[in-house]
Amino acid sequence: MMKIGERFKSLRIKNNLKQIEFAQRVGISQSTLSEIEKGKSKPSVDTVVSTSNSFNVTTDWLLKGE
């Protein structure tokens, strides 16, 4: 099962975006996204909701892979 950081990365790659482009779209810094993708930090609730809205995926998928 993928971890949350891996789901963020796969979503970014699926949309053919660089980290900076993805980060700007969801309202976080590139360094924050990098830390999330590496599993070194967890996204905030605001980041999960923003990502869900920006990329038309469910928060359940982002959080739990469902």
26-64 pLDDT, tens digit each:
999 999 999 999 999 999 999 999 999 999 999 999 999
| Cβ-defined contacts of 6-13 (< 8 Å, 24+) | 6/37, 6/39, 7/61, 7/62, 7/65, 8/33, 8/36, 8/37, 8/43, 8/51, 8/62, 9/37, 11/51, 11/55, 11/57, 11/62, 12/37
Q: What is the pLDDT of residue 1?
A: 78
> Quick one: pLDDT band at residue 66, thresholds 50, 70, 90?
confident
The pTM assigned to this predicted structure is: 0.93
- Each domain of the chain, given as residue ranges in start order, spans 4-55
The CATH T-level fold of domain 4-55 is: 434 Repressor (Amino-terminal Domain) (1.10.260)
